[in-house]
Amino acid sequence: MKLLVVGSMAYDDVETPAGIRNHQLGGSVTYFSVAASYFTDVAILGIVGNDFRPEHRDLLTSRGIDTSGIEVVDGQTFRWSGSYLKDLNDAETVATDLNVFADFNPTVPEGHRSIPYLFLANCDPETQQSVLNQMTDDLQLVAGDTMNHWIVEKRQSLDHLMTQLDFSVINEAEARMYTEKSNLVDVAEGLLDEGPDNVIIKRGEYGAVLYNDNQRFIVPAYPVQNIVDPTGAGDSFAGGFMGYIAATSRHDPESYRQAVIAGSVIASFTVEGFGLDRLSNLTSEEITDRFFEFEDLTTFDTAIRLPLRQLTD
């Protein structure tokens, strides 16, 4: 097993300009693991209630995802309800019912502790910290995400966690909220000041930026014309990104750039359908084609000189 992810498993009610879906399988680890499974072996740590449907576990296991770390307890699975009617790039949370997720305190199974790549998907920063603490020295890279709910509720724990991350992968709106800055460069630098070695800011339809002390990489999003449901795009981006890194075991600037593109490609499919409809049904050819389309979208010939005029001599 190469990649471990901890986070939320949920039933979502979502409203987008394309329609309404209730009780849709969601949660940060769900999107993340399906996205990453296109590149590598993934194991999940999560919690669900006894209302969690067997066919939803089957969907994950059918993609080779190790679900042995999903705890099933008495009660209801986490419920999140969100609306994208005002802004397709930023979900408006209508309701959050943590349910069994409120008492999520996972013990990392013995066999999972030496997994080399860890993603701390959106969940309570104290839970994220506890999972990180249980990993062995085999850990090669850890990245983490968060959202407004935890920035408000668990700021101190989040601050402490940030100092230990190789990558902070965070939505633009949340990054602004966390740093209390608005200019994108200030936001990226503000996040780096919090301690992670690298920062990736996810910008919805505007793409993503990768920042560290030596590198700035800015990519557009793939131009999707018909966005059906943006839920899970951020987690799918992270899944594609981490899946790429875990699959290649490469930790150099060029690989990080390619991993950002891999994340962008996968996320661009997620938004084309409700929930996991599109994300869980991709072919290698579709993914590869879009990867090459990205090259087309982002490269240009610097050998052709700019036709600058000489105004002074």
Q: How far is the CB of 214 from ligand AMP (least distance, A)?
A: 28
Q: Within positions 284 to 313, which residues make up the interface with ligand AMP, using CB under 6 A? A: none
Sign of the torsion angle spanned by Cα atoms 176, 229, 79, 280: negative
Binding of ligand AMP by 26 (CB under 6 A): yes
According to DSSP, the residues that pair with 44 across neighbouring strands are 5
Decide whether 232 or 243 has the Cβ nearer to ligand AMP.
232
Stretch that binds ligand AMP, among 23-31, 33-41, 59-67, 184-192 (CB under 6 A): 23-31
CB of 144 closer than 8 Å to CB of 119: yes
Rounded CA gap, 118 and 116, in Å?
A: 7
Binding of ligand AMP by 10 (CB under 6 A): yes
The amino acid at residue 302 is T
Stretch that binds ligand AMP, among 6-14, 62-70, 187-195, 281-289 (CB under 6 A): 6-14
Among 118, 147, 173, 246, binds ligand AMP (CB under 6 A): 147
Rounded CA gap, 276 and 30, in Å?
A: 9
Rounded CA gap, 146 and 124, in Å?
A: 8
Residue nearest to ligand AMP (CB): 26
Q: Which two tokens stand for residue 245?
A: 């890194």
Binding of ligand AMP by 144 (CB under 6 A): no
Decide whether 90 or 159 has the Cβ nearer to ligand AMP.
90
Q: How far is the CB of 84 from ligand AMP (least distance, A)?
A: 9
Q: Which two tokens stand for residue 313?
A: 């001599």
Binding of ligand AMP by 27 (CB under 6 A): yes
Phi/psi zone of residue 140: left (φ > 0), alpha (ψ -120 to 50 degrees), beta? Answer: alpha
CA 168 to chain centre: 10
Count CA within 13 A, CB hemisphere, residue 155: 7
CB of 73 closer than 8 Å to CB of 49: yes
Stretch that binds ligand AMP, among 61-69, 179-187, 230-238, 296-304 (CB under 6 A): 230-238
Q: Which two tokens stand for residue 267?
A: 């996320």
Strand 92-97 to 78-83 pairing: antiparallel
Strand 167-171 to 141-144 pairing: parallel
Site string for ligand AMP, 248-287 (x = CB under 6 A): ----------------------------------------
Binding of ligand AMP by 125 (CB under 6 A): no
Binding of ligand AMP by 12 (CB under 6 A): yes
DSSP state of 72: E
Interface with ligand AMP: number of residues (CB under 6 A):
18
Which residue stretches of 44-98 are H helix?
Answer: 54-61
Binding of ligand AMP by 232 (CB under 6 A): yes
Binding of ligand AMP by 80 (CB under 6 A): yes
Site string for ligand AMP, 149-188 (x = CB under 6 A): x---------------------------------------
| Interacting residue ranges for ligand AMP, rule: CB under 6 A | 8, 10, 12, 26-28, 31, 80, 96, 122-123, 147, 149, 231-235
